[in-house]
Chains A and B, each alone.
Chain A
Amino acid sequence: MSKFLIKGAVAVAMLAAGPALAEFPLEDKVTLVVPYSAGGGFDTIARIFAPAVEVALGTTVVPDNIPGASGTRGGQAVSRADADGYTIGIYNIPGLNVAEILGRELGFDLSSVTWIANLAQSKYGIAVVADSPIQTVQDLCNLDHSIKLSDTGTNSTSSITAVIAFNIMGCSIVNVTGYSGSNDTMIAVMRGEVDATLKPISSLAKYIESGDLRLIATLTEETVVEGVQNAADLGYPELAQFGLSRVIGGPADMPAEIVATLSAAFQIAAASEEVMAWAESTGTELNWLNAEDTTAMMAEISEFYLQYEDLLK
């Protein structure tokens, strides 16, 4: 998507937001549902954004943790709320899309969620232990055994990405799942239990900086680190489609003005000093998208993963 298009969309959203700002957030507080317990990644980004959105919106924004049932209980709570903009939520994408494709009962219809904004997106990278003889993905595929990778859960986004990505590249893998967090999966690489791991670049970065791990490829369109292969270098540009997104959405059929107001408020928040400074210090890749682009992105993501339905099951 071109930068010009995004700028245009922002301008439209701002124009639409202008008059609506006066009427939508009247007295009530806005509840931002976080489908996980306090202290996790989704909770943190919600709590970082909340005060900045509060300023932009002129009303209180309260993050509300509704954990349970693998993050679907929070989504259910949002889908049941009135579509008046006072209850919105943050969604784990593509985790929920994949769960839906796998036939899990989410308890709400992902396609009827009103998408408001995309906050952040992480792309994936593949890393090996720093002193490993493996230099490229090709070396990894040429090992005398199936590539052993470490991951959290079988249905986690990174694990799904690993299964699909290495299938596209035609390499066979054994995904050792069950590690309790993405940090643990990287430590498993350092311990030498597994050959490599595929994780969001921002998570890998800490361990690459500290000299424990070495990046061998990034699933991105452009080169992120000099000398490290990107998706095009690998010969499979479609690999750049993988990513982990933190998306804001609301109940079905929210009025367009309210969506525009909220979306604009998140945009202002994303550009605010506090949020930018926080993102900088924690390596979070902010990537604000307006409602229209977020909706388009969601459709693309669903379609993309649907192609690999058989592989996932």
Chain B
Amino acid sequence: MIKANSEYVPYSVRSIYPALAILALAAAVYFWSQSFGEVARRLPALVALTLFVLALMDLWTRTKLPGSELMRAFWGADFTRREMTHNPALKTELGLMAWIGGCFVGMALFGILPTMPLFCVLFTRIRSRRPLKQALIVGLIVLGFETFVFELMLDYELYRGLLFADGGLSNW
């Protein structure tokens, strides 16, 4: 599991920006919670403050300030046991999310039954570059599963898509 390159931690992961983003979230939640009534704001404000302090610690461990070494050791805040050891390019990451986003758009417009098998076929063929035959088999399995289990066995009507269902967006 641990490969040779796992010791290398990319700059974006080590940098102070993740901690800053959380710091901003904590501050936003704290100020938002001040608009609620006394009972409703008590815990959100408390948790936001705790998060703020923890994010400051996180920030500290990411710097070279005095004591940061000690903080890292105390909180176990180093990056020795990372879940994801590879470091894909931003373009690849966005490309993959576009695929999944595309799947959602298809689902929303044309409904679940046609979109899901089509997505599987296209993804397997184009993104994963598998043979067309394999892609078609995967698509057929998904189509068969969704039709058999939901539509036939449980008599459940899967979403038909904005183009074919009544009610439009308000039914979401």
Contact = CB atoms under 8 A, between A and B. Distances in A.
Nearest to A107: B170
Interface in A76-101: 76-77, 80
Interface in B124-172: 167, 170-171
Interface string B94-125: 00000000000000000000000000000000
Nearest to B168: A80
A204 B170 CA distance: 39
A88 to B, nearest CB: 16
A111 B169 CA distance: 24
Nearest to B155: A62
Contacts of A76: 170
A77 B166 CA distance: 11
B88 to A, nearest CB: 37
A80 B167 CA distance: 8
A152 B171 CA distance: 29
Contacts of A77: 167, 171
A312 to B, nearest CB: 15
Contacts of A80: 167, 170
B61 to A, nearest CB: 38
Interface string A253-282: 000000000000000000000000000000
Contacts of B167: 77, 80
A139 B167 CA distance: 55
Nearest to B167: A80
A87 to B, nearest CB: 10
A80 B170 CA distance: 9
A136 B171 CA distance: 50
Contacts of B170: 76, 80
A230 B2 CA distance: 74
A77 B165 CA distance: 13
Contacts of B171: 77
Interface string A39-71: 000000000000000000000000000000000
A76 B169 CA distance: 12
A80 B171 CA distance: 10
Nearest to B157: A64
A183 to B, nearest CB: 24
B154 to A, nearest CB: 12
Nearest to A154: B39
B57 to A, nearest CB: 33
A80 B169 CA distance: 12
A76 B167 CA distance: 11
B38 to A, nearest CB: 14
A77 B170 CA distance: 8
Nearest to A64: B157
A244 B171 CA distance: 28
A77 B171 CA distance: 7
Interface of A: 76-77, 80
In order of increasing CB-CB distance, the 5 nearest A-B pairs are: A80-B167, A80-B170, A77-B171, A76-B170, A77-B167
5 contacts: A76-B170, A77-B167, A77-B171, A80-B167, A80-B170
